[in-house]
Structure 1
Amino acid sequence: MKRLITAVTLVLCVITLGAVRVGITQIVDHPALNAVFDGIVKVLEDAGFKVGQDVLIDRQNAQGSMQNAVAIAKKFATEKVDIVVAIATPSAQACVQAITDRPVIFSAVTDPVGAGLIKQLGKNTTNVVGVSDMVPVATQLRLIKKIFPNAKKVGVIFNPGEANSVTLNNIAKSAAPSLEMTIAEIPGTSPSEMITALNSIGPSVDVLYIGTDNTAASSIEAIGNAALRLKKPIVAADIDIARGGGVVGFGFNYFQVGVETGQLLVELLKGAKPSDLESHVVGPDSLVLYINLDIAKQLGVEIPADLVDRADIVVRDGQEVAK
């Protein structure tokens, strides 16, 4: 009770003396990361904080550039924002490097330990806490095997400069042999490099897999068009990536990722320290199955009826229907 009273008092003092300044940075503009931002704002408002009055948000976008992400992190460090929220691995890495004297919340980071943000999931002793979106790669590969039982080679489109994508690629390589599949890497550090690699390597694979890669997400329309020309189906670990040209998507609802991130932010605004809170993976209840029957038909892919029945979102005859 004493702690609760102290936390409430701190909030009231902060609001009385002036608004809390929150810097929010994301690596690139795409629907999933934008949904994280929307979820954060929703939680703030539901908790009674008025955005623009009690909480002033400085939202920045690195436009896919690590150099910009570093510059934004240094900007936040210099301008002394009270709390920083970094959406996606590259932005989080930049902020954790630049800011050590104020709370940093990471969000939509696949492998925060491997990326050097924290030592372990759960509680840590530093100024960093957050939410991971580590997707179930082995389950996604089993999904590929169910839909494409004859698939032997899966092409993984990823940016080798993104720690999150490297992690998912390595997990896929470890999981594939048990399903009698191999992984063919289709790397690119920019959208144009990805398209070039896809055009070169794509013809030799049976299925394309895209994880939570920010470079791919920012250029998914071009990747989707290239995949259609090659007549190669895309299975994605991100629903919004799948919407850009995938046959199947199985991944998190990123608005919910934002909600869980916003809950951490609210706890900090109420007086908690990052070391009081636990870094965690977003709950499995947030996983969504997306199936595009129109693209499946274009590619001659037969989706098992039980999967269509279980899907949360189905596209048929140009209409997206959420069940």
Structure 2
Amino acid sequence: MKKLITLSMVLLLLAGLVGCGSNQPAATKDKGSGKALQVGIIQIVEHPALDAAREGFLEALKKNGYEEGKNLVVNYQNAQGDANNLQPIAQKLASEKPDLILAIATPSAQAVAGATKDIPILITAVTDPVGAKLVNSLQKPGTNVTGTTDMNPIKEQLELLKQLVPGAKNIGVIYNAGEQNSQTQVKKVKELASGLGLEVSEATVTSTAEVMQATQSLVGKVQAIYVPTDNMVVSAANSVVQVADQNKIPIISGESSVVEKGALATIGIDYKKLGEQTGEMAIRIINGEKPQDMPVESQKEFSIVINKKNADKIGVTIPEEVLGKAAKVIK
């Protein structure tokens, strides 16, 4: 009798192990199955644009029935601006085998893509996924990575700069030369600038502590400053604004959070909407689609944001036609 009971227990145990070891993809999980969706999030640094992308992503999941505290478990990790933290964070996230990982910004995406080739990875706030070697192409990623790109409408941004600062001949660009996304943007700025009668002066940084000095190096050389969506520089945007205000230099930025901090204007991406768009792509993966077959998406509509308060402070007149098109005017 004891032998029969023991055999039954062994068989039950084996059946349980087989069930636990099932490699059923996360995509087939049902919201009502009782098993929470496990999502890892890796972010290079906290600043308003990247935070908004994360919030938008989670809101999209909630809208589709996945909510923290109910059927969604989120492991959010932030490198606090230190690239050396990314690899151990990425490796730990991958070892925990979540159902999917959200990587916010290029360095985060590169770290986690190097840590796993199996777990679906959604990227957002990544300017050049192909150049960063995250996907084979935007239309056919061919890897476990897909998501959204935040490539700026740089041509439109430089045209806005010319409208607001018609006398500009030389513009300064401040960026971290170690960021792939920034390299891509600055290359594009230089390609487009000559056609608009602009010369470009570069000021590079390797830490947020260098941002103020880099901005000061442009004083007397440029009539305007362009700030790309560079994570390091945006994190220290207050330093750029401080120096620019003191010297009455207009700032055109790649995204609106810098305008909120005192830059003159942008025509750019709404990062919360970009995060929501990424979240909708995550739902498609949860429902069975494969990232390697899902084209990387970009935002189709861009918004003008004007800081009228800054314009008045530095003596820039905003044309009425620009004000009329603005989605937001800070007064």
TM-score normalized with structure 2 length: 0.89
The equivalent of 1:279 in structure 2 is 296
Q: Is the 8 A contact 1:44 1:51 kept in 2?
A: no
Q: CA deviation digits over 1:215-241, x for unaligned, max 9?
A: 111111122112112221111110011
Matched, 1:307 2:322: yes
Amino acid at match of 1:19: A
Is structure 2 residue 309 aligned with structure 1 residue 291? Answer: no
- Whether the 8 Å CA contact 1:155–1:202 is kept in 2: the answer is no
Write the letter of the residue equivalent to 1:144: L
What is the letter of the counterpart of residue 281 of structure 1? S
Partner of 1:167: 184
Q: Which amino acid aligns with 2:278?
A: T
Counterparts of 2:209 and 2:218 in 1: how far apart (Å)?
Answer: 14
Task: Decide whether the 8 Å contact of 2:34 with 2:71 is kept in 1.
Answer: no
Task: Answer yes or no: is the 8 Å Cα contact 2:170–2:224 preserved in 1.
Answer: yes
Paired position in structure 1 for 2:266:
249
8 Å Cα contact 1:162/1:213 also seen in 2: yes
- 2:72 paired with 1:55: yes
Q: Does the CA contact (< 8 Å) of 1:118 and 1:128 recur in 2?
A: yes
Whichever residue aligns with residue 314 of structure 1, its letter is V
Q: For the Cα contact (< 8 Å) 2:175–2:233, is it kept in 1? A: yes
Aligned partner of 1:11 in structure 2 is 29
| Counterpart among 198, 211, 215 of residue 194 in structure 1 | 211
What are the within-5 Å matches in structure 2 for residues 129-168 of structure 1? 129-168=146-185
Instruction: Tell me the amino acid that sits aligned with residue 29 of structure 2.
Output: V
Give the alignment partner of residue 210 of structure 1, picking from 227, 231, 244.
227
Q: Does 1:101 pair with 2:118?
A: yes
Provide closer, same or farther for how the CA distance between residues 152 and 9 of structure 1 changes in structure 2, counting only shifts above 3 A: closer
**Quick check: 2:44–2:78 contact (8 Å CA) kept in 1?**
yes
Superposed displacement of residue 243, structure 1: 1.2
Count of aligned positions: 308
Structure 1, 306-315 or 52-61: larger mean CA deviation: 52-61
Q: Aligned to 1:128, which of 120, 145, 156?
A: 145
SS in 2 for 1:203: coil
Aligned to 1:92: 109
Q: Structure 2: which 5+ residue stretches go unaligned?
A: 1-23
Matched AA of 2:314 = L
Other structure's SS at 2:29 match: helix
Question: What does the per-residue CA deviation read over 1:137-194, in whole Å, with 9 as the maximum and x for residues that have no partner?
Answer: 1111111111111100000111111111111101000111111110100111212212
> Equivalent residue of 2:174, what SS?
strand
Moved more, 24-33 or 120-129: 120-129
Q: Distance in 2 between matches of 1:71 and 1:187?
A: 27
C-alpha contact 2:170 2:199 (8 A) present in aligned 1? yes
CA contact (8 A) 2:87 2:112 kept: yes
1-structure distance, mates of 2:251, 2:229:
13
TM superposition outliers: structure 1 runs of 4+ over 6 Å: 6-9
Name the CA distance, whole Å, in 2 between partners of 1:87 and 1:230: 34
Checking the alignment, whether the CA contact within 8 Å between 1:173 and 1:183 is kept in structure 2 is yes
Using the TM superposition, give the Cα deviation of residue 104 of structure 1 relative to its aligned residue in structure 2, in angstroms: 0.9
Letter in 1 for 2:313: Q
Counterparts of 2:79 and 2:25 in 1: how far apart (Å)?
34
Matched to 1:308, the amino acid is L
Asked if 1:27 is matched to 2:44, the reply is yes
Max Rg structure:
2
CA contact (8 A) 1:35 1:258 kept: yes
Q: Which runs of 5+ in 1 are unaligned?
A: 1-5, 317-323
Please provide the CA RMSD for this pair. 1.8
Question: Aligned with 2:134: secondary structure?
Answer: coil
Given candidates 83, 87, 98, the residue that maps to 1:66 is: 83
Q: Distance in 2 between matches of 1:55 and 1:163?
A: 32
